[in-house]
């Protein structure tokens, strides 16, 4: 038996979601949650807590010299369309612009996407390579953890009962950083990923890769420092080693060996795309893909 | 249980639907799609996949296209909903005529959703390329596969509107 | 062409009429405006909503069904189980009456109803359905063809039940029916062959996926009958089957059929209507069942196939012999699938001149979703193999695959099936091939990673049938045409309106088309097999001419002149004093009593006993498809750069509707070539029902350049020289795309769909074979 509750404040939402006697689920965009609503109607009480009306949740998106803060209600469409976000975090805006359809993106929230913690989340790999932190609020206060510690297993995050993610915070990339996102699907139209890779080539020489749908959680991999990315053979060897942490499975969307091979292929393409955009812009600020 | 949500699993929603204030009381789990169709008898919006994949249930919520099967009716309290009935209120629009002209209407079941998505596209991109149309409309499935017909209808409408300064 | 069908329309001028023009779709505006009422839009305020009780496996013995909890749940009016139905369990079907109204002591496919719940709201019905406890013992169902054909394997239809397939010598097997088509001496031709290609091919199970899901409403009437609201392609069949099952005369069972939101064959044959009919009678309440898309994909599908083919060629590319063994994978009950097997296998050797052919086909039962009709009806399942064989042969011989086909293609009037029940080409098919090659720029060189493939195929349309039509010419010059065709997107209503407008001179906006009501509209056998233009079209034309004849006779009588002094032509009565408009003539003829003219037209084609198809085909749909792809070798993905499809249609009665159907059929065929497949697990459960994981083409999956074309020689048996259309473009799309991918990648793939993973896997392992 579903009850709908529209939270007024953060404290209000935390209190309701923290109650031990009732199963509560947070609702922002609803594009994941509502798929399962009908099936849950078996008479046991549960409450959907709508967070969209919270007065003190802050701005949906703030981009400053020191970084970017993604608020509770920011939708994929809004993120994909923001030129400043696209300038500094192109892999992320590209990914946000490829989730589902226009109508889904008008509704789906970035915060909701990471809280759903699907291993195939599109925003997770770019958030990983841009070293985002997740701000988590509870009745006791606030904490911030790196996104690489946020995903625990499929559909399970570091949030405990009674905790809500209130923001995702990304540091301003150092000059010369660029990133790109590449996803593989079964058809050209709207689709969930078979495999995806985000690559960030940081201005300080670090190369980070975010891997989607090849493990129980999205993975972050860092390539050895000092790599000459133009040496294709050296890069190939390094990638083989680095990507071996992936443990893809065979499911309805793809076979394990195909996923492994495509991971390799996409990693290469994502890195090349990131390098390309650095070279194109020339001044250390990446152009939006 | 807390009085805020103790035993009440019904919600009373007041929303502006197609320009008119409408109030209705429904079970909390009722989707906007089912509320529009069953409670408000606005059957122009169609129910098909019920999981946000086919686009047949597309409506405007505060001016943005959404798949109404993934929105709870409760969520639209205090908001604006626009359905195909409002688009067609004064008769067929130029876009709808273009759909007919180009042979885009076959079984017709997906067409209300297509029209909603197409109007949204043109509102944001008055002169879309073929590629932009395909990308923007990708969430609306058509099994009769009138895709090229629909693209043609959107292109011809966009040309007419731009030339008449609409 | 059958004389029984030969239209008297030859000589009709198409210059001034609506026939042949891009008349806008009848009912199109309502659809575009959201005003069209589909079955789920109809208001039945007091209806009970119906949910189905199923078990989570594909094959099990039912030990017990406990409804005690469900019975008492809020809003529940009735939980109906097998115990509430007559014993023995009533069964229905078209060729075999094998499908139980509800699972009868055994569940034979995932999703088969074990019980049904009627409650005041849908959520209440579904909650109660989940609360019904079914005690069952899972059985090792036969879920694949291999399972079904393995000696000692599970038998889908239990032979221990004496009512199951009595007198059928195959009853202790899962082979439901078989067919052999053969002529010539294969051994003799084999000795002459320079090349023999032998391979095995698979074609997966797929589903119709209409965007309007299955749904219907059944209302018990005060007279003790039933009103059934169902967007069914065959209203009269549904009427008859339900009437038989519940023991009512036809006058007490009415089927009101709103235009379907897509059918594609999946809305032809009753599936869940019978169980809800019983529920309506037992509750005395209107019962409404509306499924969603996922539930629909669990209820209807097309047959998959496995084909083993062996084809012999001369060095110059003559096809000397072609052997095919094809097994069609049916579901748990026959439905129309045996005919899918016979019709598909009949044309398994394609539109060619082949000295020796041997086709052995079987329709095999498996514990899966019941397979039913789908656009193409058994032909795509074999053309995939036959056309791939020919492409392979041509490639290996170093010959142009298009030239090899042209070399072997039969001429108009030439036999492509030989023997006692031979079949002859009924069109200038070569023209369609040449047109396709021209549109595809067949001879242009291609860049790297591009490949081009060609395929062609035929399908037999209806081999018998009956359509009846009534036309009423009203006093003020308007007209009503009653035609029972189901307009599910192909635009049937538009064609009848154009026809009546031309034949009787009625302005288009004064023609009303009435269909979808067995109480009001005369009999039409069905909407299938691309038959309606020919069968119902002919009936409509005859009804119109019946009206004209009556006007002529009555006018002459009133004028006191011999009837032979007058002539009737489209829209006109030609009198000794010159022509007058038909409606004016009609008013004069009717005189002071006013009234109307009522014309009747029938098109009947009897079958031919003993013929493998039940009769000669009324016409053949011929299609040539050419695809060009660009493959990404790194991922196996490919872009459809261009797709050309050309059909031999006789006459385009409405060119825009032809284009829309041709594009639609091509894109559906492309979907079936590159992304569609139903996947079942080892418990017979469907793993990808619904839109998330059953992939169909979207806007972005359409070929960059999609080109459709028609050949019009006005040589069809339908009105104004027309043939039927709309299945052509799907008949051999798989083979055309497969050939293109093979040309681009150098690797022949024998299993559909050609997903990126499959293409990558095949090209990757081929590359590895080379390096090893």
Which chains are within 8 Å of A by 3+ CB pairs? B, C
- Residue C13 CA to residue C8 CA, distance in Å, equals 12
Category of C595 on φ-ψ map: left (φ > 0), alpha (ψ -120 to 50) or beta: left
User: In the predicted model, is pLDDT for residue A281 greater than 80?
Assistant: no
Residue spans of chain C under pLDDT 70: 1-15, 770-772
What confidence tens digit (pLDDT) does each residue in B9-33 have? Answer: 899 999 999 999 999 999 999 999 9
CB contact under 8 A, B85 and C489: no
Final residue in a domain of this structure, among C241, C275, C297: C297
Q: Please name the member of A41, A189, A261 whose beta carbon is closest to the beta carbon of C700.
A: A189
Q: Please name the member of A6, A19, A30 whose beta carbon is closest to the beta carbon of B71.
A: A30
CB contact under 8 A, C690 and B112: no
Q: Which two tokens stand for residue B112?
A: 């209300």
List B residues 128-157 in contact with C (Cβ-Cβ < 8 A).
Answer: 133-135, 137-151
CB contact under 8 A, B70 and A34: yes
Q: In chain A, what residues touch C639 (CB-CB under 8 Å)? A: 188
Q: Identify the weakest region by mean pLDDT among A104-118, A218-232, B128-142.
A: A218-232
Q: Which two tokens stand for residue C275?
A: 């169980």
| Residue C634 lies inside a defined structural domain of this protein | yes
Q: What is the pLDDT of residue B153?
A: 98
Q: Which two tokens stand for residue C353?
A: 């001149």
C435: CB partners within 8 A, 6+ apart:
C624, C646, C709, C711
Q: Please name the member of B9, B11, B117 whose beta carbon is closest to the beta carbon of A1.
A: B9
Q: Please name the member of B8, B11, B65 whose beta carbon is closest to the beta carbon of A102.
A: B65
Q: In chain B, what residues touch C27 (CB-CB under 8 Å)? A: 108
Dihedral angle at the C-alpha atoms of A45, A51, A55, A61, nearest 10 degrees?
170
Q: What is the pLDDT of residue A282?
A: 56
C151 vs C55, C154, C175, C249, CA distance in Å? Answer: 28, 9, 12, 45
| Residue C551 lies inside a defined structural domain of this protein | yes
Tell me the H-state helices in chain A.
10-17, 33-37, 76-81, 83-88, 90-96, 102-105, 110-116, 124-129, 232-242, 256-281
CB contact under 8 A, C699 and B54: no
Q: Please name the member of B47, B88, B102 whose beta carbon is closest to the beta carbon of C33.
A: B88
CB contact under 8 A, A187 and C123: no
A85 vs A90, A96, A210, A277, C701, CA distance in Å? Answer: 7, 11, 18, 15, 30
Write down the CATH superfamily of domain B10-86. Answer: Beta-grasp domain (3.10.20.30)
- For an interface test with C, give the residue of A100, A255, A258 to mutate (most C CBs within 10 A): A258
List B residues 71-90 in contact with C (Cβ-Cβ < 8 A).
Answer: 83-85, 87-88
Same domain, C532 and C476: yes
A103 and B139 in contact (C-beta within 8 Å)? Answer: yes
CB contact under 8 A, B52 and A106: no
Whether pTM exceeds 0.90: yes
| Residue C718 lies inside a defined structural domain of this protein | yes
Rounded average pLDDT over A95-115 = 98
Residues making up chain A, counted from first to last: 289
Tell me the H-state helices in C488-565.
492-504, 532-559
CB contact under 8 A, C695 and A194: no
Query: Containing domain of residue C546, as a range?
Result: 3-36+465-605
pLDDT grade, residue B111 (50/70/90)? Answer: very high
Which chains are within 8 Å of B by 3+ CB pairs? A, C
CB contact under 8 A, A43 and C127: yes
Give me the CATH code for the B94-163 domain, please: 1.10.150.120
Same domain, C285 and C407: no
CATH for the A2-50 domain, from 2.60.120, 3.30.43, 3.30.70, 3.30.420: 3.30.43
Same domain, C644 and C746: yes
Same domain, C625 and C653: yes
CATH for the A61-171 domain, from 3.90.226.10, 2.115.10.20, 3.20.20.140, 3.30.465.10: 3.30.465.10
| Residue C423 lies inside a defined structural domain of this protein | yes
Q: C751 to chain B, minimum CA–CA distance in Å?
A: 23
Q: Which two tokens stand for residue A109?
A: 């929230």
Q: What is the pLDDT of residue A131?
A: 98
B46 has a chain C CB within 8 A of its CB: yes
Distance, C-alpha C157 to centroid of its chain:
26
Q: Which two tokens stand for residue C537?
A: 């079209």
CB contact under 8 A, C489 and B148: no
Q: What does the DSSP 8-state code read for residue A254?
A: B
Question: Residue A197, CB half-sphere, CA atoms under 13 Å: how many?
Answer: 28
Q: In chain A, what residues touch C764 (CB-CB under 8 Å)? A: 261
CB contact under 8 A, C668 and B143: yes
Category of C264 on φ-ψ map: left (φ > 0), alpha (ψ -120 to 50) or beta: left
* Residue ranges per structural domain of chain A: 2-50, 61-171, 178-281
Q: What is the pLDDT of residue C7?
A: 45
Helix (H/G/I), strand (E/B), else coil: C133:
strand
pLDDT grade, residue A284 (50/70/90)? Answer: very low
A75 and A84 in contact (C-beta within 8 Å)? Answer: no
Rounded average pLDDT over A268-278 = 93
Closest residue in A to C691 (Cα) is: A191
User: In the predicted model, is pLDDT for residue A11 greater than 90?
Assistant: yes
Closest residue in C to A268 (Cα) is: C634
Q: In chain B, what residues touch A106 (CB-CB under 8 Å)? A: 61, 64-66
Write down the CATH superfamily of domain A178-281. Answer: CO dehydrogenase flavoprotein, C-terminal domain (3.30.390.50)
| Residue C436 lies inside a defined structural domain of this protein | yes
Q: In chain C, what residues touch B83 (CB-CB under 8 Å)? A: 34
- Residue C600 CA to residue C99 CA, distance in Å, equals 37
Rounded average pLDDT over B101-122 = 98
Helix (H/G/I), strand (E/B), else coil: C59:
coil
Q: What is the pLDDT of residue C453?
A: 98
Q: What is the total count of domains within chain C?
A: 3
CB contact under 8 A, B139 and A48: no
- For an interface test with C, give the residue of A120, A188, A248 to mutate (most C CBs within 10 A): A188
- Please, what is the angle between helix B147-163 and helix B94-101, to 10°? 140
Q: What is the pLDDT of residue C625?
A: 98
Same domain, C336 and C224: no
* Mean pLDDT estimate for chain A: 93
What confidence tens digit (pLDDT) does each residue in C637-682 have? Answer: 999 999 999 999 999 999 999 999 999 999 999 999 999 999 999 9
* Residue ranges per structural domain of chain B: 10-86, 94-163
What confidence tens digit (pLDDT) does each residue in A236-245 have? Answer: 999 999 999 9
What confidence tens digit (pLDDT) does each residue in B2-11 have? Answer: 555 544 589 9
| Residue C649 lies inside a defined structural domain of this protein | yes
The strand pairing partners of C328, in sequence order, are C305, C363
Q: What is the pLDDT of residue C765?
A: 86
Rounded average pLDDT over A12-25 = 90
Distance, C-alpha A250 to centroid of its chain:
23
Closest residue in C to B145 (Cα) is: C664
Same domain, C430 and C309: yes
CATH of the domain at C493: 3.30.365.10
């Amino acid at each position: 038996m579903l009850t709908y509750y529209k939270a007024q404040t953060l404290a209000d939402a935390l209190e309701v979601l923290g109650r031990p006697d009732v199963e509560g689920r947070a609702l922002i965009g609803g594009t994941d949650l509502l798929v399962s609503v009908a099936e849950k109607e078996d008479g046991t009480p549960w409450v959907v807590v709508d967070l969209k009306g919270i007065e003190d949740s802050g701005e949906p998106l703030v981009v400053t010299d020191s970084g970017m803060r993604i608020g509770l209600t920011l939708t994929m469409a809004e993120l994909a369309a923001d030129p400043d976000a696209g300038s500094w975090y192109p892999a992320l805006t590209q990914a946000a612009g490829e989730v589902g359809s226009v109508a889904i993106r008008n509704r789906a929230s970035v915060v909701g996407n990471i809280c759903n913690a699907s291993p195939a989340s599109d925003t997770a790999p770019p958030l990983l390579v841009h070293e985002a932190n997740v701000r988590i609020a509870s009745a006791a206060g606030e904490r911030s953890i790196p996104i690489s510690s946020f995903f625990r297993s499929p559909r399970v995050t570091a949030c405990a009962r009674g905790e809500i993610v209130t923001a995702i915070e990304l540091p301003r990339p150092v000059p010369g950083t660029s990133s790109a996102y590449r996803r593989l699907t079964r058809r050209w139209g709207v689709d969930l990923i078979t495999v995806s890779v985000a690559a960030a080539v940081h201005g300080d020489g670090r190369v980070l890769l975010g891997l989607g749908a090849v493990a129980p959680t999205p993975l972050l991999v860092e390539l050895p420092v000092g790599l000459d990315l133009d040496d294709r053979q050296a890069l190939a060897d390094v990638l083989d080693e680095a990507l071996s942490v992936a443990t893809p499975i065979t499911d309805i969307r793809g076979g394990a060996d195909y996923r492994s091979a495509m991971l390799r292929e996409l990693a290469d393409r994502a890195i090349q795309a990131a390098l390309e955009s650095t070279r194109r812009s020339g001044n250390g600020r990446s152009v939006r893909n | 249980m807390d009085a805020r949500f103790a035993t009440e699993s019904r919600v009373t929603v007041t929303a502006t639907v197609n320009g008119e204030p409408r109030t209705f009381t429904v079970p909390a789990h009722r989707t906007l799609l089912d509320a529009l169709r069953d409670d408000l008898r606005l059957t122009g919006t169609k129910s098909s996949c019920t999981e946000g994949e086919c686009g047949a249930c597309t409506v405007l919520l505060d001016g943005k296209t959404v798949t109404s099967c993934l929105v709870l009716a409760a969520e639209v309290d205090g908001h604006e909903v626009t359905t195909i009935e409002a688009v067609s209120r004064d008769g067929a629009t130029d876009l709808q005529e273009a759909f007919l002209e180009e042979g885009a209407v076959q079984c017709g079941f997906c067409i209300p959703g297509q029209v909603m998505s197409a109007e949204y596209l043109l509102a944001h991109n008055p002169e879309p390329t073929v590629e932009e149309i395909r990308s923007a409309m990708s969430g609306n499935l058509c099994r009769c596969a009138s895709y090229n017909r629909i693209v043609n209808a959107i292109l011809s409408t966009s040309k007419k509107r731009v030339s008449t300064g609409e | 062409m059958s004389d029984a069908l030969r239209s008297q329309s030859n000589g009709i001028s198409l210059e001034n009429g609506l026939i042949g023009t891009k008349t806008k779709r009848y009912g199109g505006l309502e659809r575009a405006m959201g005003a069209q009422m589909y079955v789920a839009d109809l208001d039945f305020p007091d209806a009970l909503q119906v949910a189905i009780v199923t078990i989570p496996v594909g094959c099990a013995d039912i030990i017990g069904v406990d409804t005690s909890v469900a019975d008492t749940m809020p809003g529940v009016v009735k939980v109906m189980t097998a115990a509430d139905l007559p014993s023995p369990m009533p069964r229905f079907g078209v060729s075999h009456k094998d499908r139980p109204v509800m699972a009868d002591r055994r569940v034979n496919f995932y999703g088969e109803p074990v019980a049904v719940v009627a409650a005041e709201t849908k959520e209440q019905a579904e909650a109660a359905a989940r609360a019904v406890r079914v005690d069952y013992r899972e059985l090792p169902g036969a879920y694949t063809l291999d399972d079904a054909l393995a000696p000692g394997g599970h038998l889908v239809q239990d032979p221990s039940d004496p009512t199951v397939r009595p007198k059928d010598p195959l009853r202790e097997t899962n082979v439901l029916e078989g067919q052999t088509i053969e002529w010539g001496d294969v051994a003799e031709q084999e000795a002459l062959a320079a090349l023999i290609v032998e391979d095995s091919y698979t074609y997966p199970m797929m589903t119709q996926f209409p965007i309007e899901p299955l749904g219907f409403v059944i209302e018990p009437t005060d007279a003790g009958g039933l009103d059934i609201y169902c967007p069914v392609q065959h209203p009269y069949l549904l009427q008859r089957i339900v009437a038989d099952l519940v023991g009512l005369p036809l006058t007490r069972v009415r089927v009101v059929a709103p235009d379907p939101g897509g059918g594609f064959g999946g809305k032809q044959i009753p599936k869940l209507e019978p169980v809800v009919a019983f529920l309506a009678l037992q509750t005395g309440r209107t019962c409404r069942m509306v499924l969603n898309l996922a539930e629909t994909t669990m209820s209807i599908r097309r047959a998959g196939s496995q084909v083993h083919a062996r084809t012999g060629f001369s060095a110059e590319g003559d096809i000397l012999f072609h052997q095919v063994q094809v097994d069609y994978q049916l579901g748990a009950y026959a439905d129309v699938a045996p005919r899918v097997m016979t019709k598909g296998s009949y044309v398994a050797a394609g539109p060619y001149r082949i000295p020796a052919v041997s086709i052995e086909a079987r329709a095999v039962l498996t514990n899966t979703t019941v397979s039913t009709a789908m656009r193409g009806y058994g032909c795509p399942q074999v053309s995939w193999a036959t056309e791939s064989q020919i492409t392979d042969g041509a490639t290996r011989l170093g010959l142009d695959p298009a030239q090899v086909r042209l070399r072997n293609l039969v001429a108009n009037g030439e036999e492509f099936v030989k023997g006692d029940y031979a079949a002859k080409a009924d069109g200038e098919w070569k023209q369609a091939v040449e047109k396709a090659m021209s549109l595809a720029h067949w001879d242009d060189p291609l860049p790297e990673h591009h490949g081009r493939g060609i395929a062609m195929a035929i399908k037999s349309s209806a081999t018998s049938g009956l359509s009846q039509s009534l036309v009423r010419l009203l006093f003020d010059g308007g007209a009503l045409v009653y035609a029972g065709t189901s307009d599910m997107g192909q635009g049937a209503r538009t064609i009848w309106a154009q026809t009546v407008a031309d034949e009787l001179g009625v302005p288009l906006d004064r023609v009303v088309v009435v269909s979808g009501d067995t109480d009001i509209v005369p009999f039409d056998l069905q909407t299938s097999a691309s038959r309606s233009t020919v069968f119902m079209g002919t009936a409509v034309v005859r009804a119109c001419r019946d009206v004209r004849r009556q006007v002529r006779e009555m006018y002459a009588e009133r004028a006191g002149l011999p009837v032979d002094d007058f002539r009737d032509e489209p829209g006109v009565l030609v009198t000794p004093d010159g022509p007058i408009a038909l409606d004016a003539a009609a008013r004069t003829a009717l005189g002071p009593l006013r009234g109307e003219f009522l014309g009747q037209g029938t098109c009947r084609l009897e079958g031919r006993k003993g013929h493998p198809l039940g009769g000669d085909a009324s016409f053949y749909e011929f299609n040539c498809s050419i695809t060009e792809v660009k493959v990404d070798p790194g991922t196996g993905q490919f872009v459809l750069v261009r797709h050309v499809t050309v059909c031999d249609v006789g006459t385009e009665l409405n060119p825009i509707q032809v284009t829309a159907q041709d594009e639609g059929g091509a894109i559906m065929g492309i979907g079936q070539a590159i992304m569609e497949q139903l996947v079942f697990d080892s418990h017979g459960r469907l793993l990808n029902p619904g839109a998330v994981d059953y992939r169909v083409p979207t806007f972005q999956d359409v070929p960059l350049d999609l080109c459709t074309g028609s050949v019009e020689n006005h040589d069809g048996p339908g009105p104004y020289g027309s043939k039927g259309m709309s299945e052509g473009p799907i008949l051999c799309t798989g083979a055309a795309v497969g050939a293109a991918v093979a040309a681009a990648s150098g690797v022949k793939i024998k299993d559909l769909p050609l997903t990126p993973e499959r293409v990558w896997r095949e090209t990757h392992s081929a590359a590895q074979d080379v390096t090893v």
